């Protein structure tokens, strides 16, 4: 199996290497392993959906309803 680093994958996917490291740490990239300080990610892994909030509607009101 061929592995890619966060920097190599960031060039392919067009997102930062730091973001890919976060995805690895969260367990969202299946098969990613950490070797020392470097994440090794299988070359056939699929890019996950961006689950970060984009709407800005993340602030809850005082009564707990949005």
Could you give the 3-state DSSP secondary structure of residue 7? helix
Q: Of the candidates 27, 23, 4, 3, which has an alpha carbon nearest to the alpha carbon of residue 15?
A: 23
Instruction: Please list the rounded mean pLDDT of every run of 10 residues in the chain (66 residues).
Output: 95 95 95 96 91 66 58
Q: Of the candidates 54, 45, 1, which has an alpha carbon nearest to the alpha carbon of residue 20?
A: 45
pLDDT for res 55: 72
């Amino acid at each position: 199996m061929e592995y890619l680093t966060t920097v190599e994958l960031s060039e392919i996917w067009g997102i930062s290497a730091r973001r890919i490291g976060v995805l690895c740490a969260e367990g969202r990239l299946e098969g990613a392993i950490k070797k020392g300080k470097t994440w090794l990610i299988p070359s056939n892994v699929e890019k996950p959906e961006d689950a970060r909030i984009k709407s800005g509607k993340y602030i809850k009101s005082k009564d707990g309803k949005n």
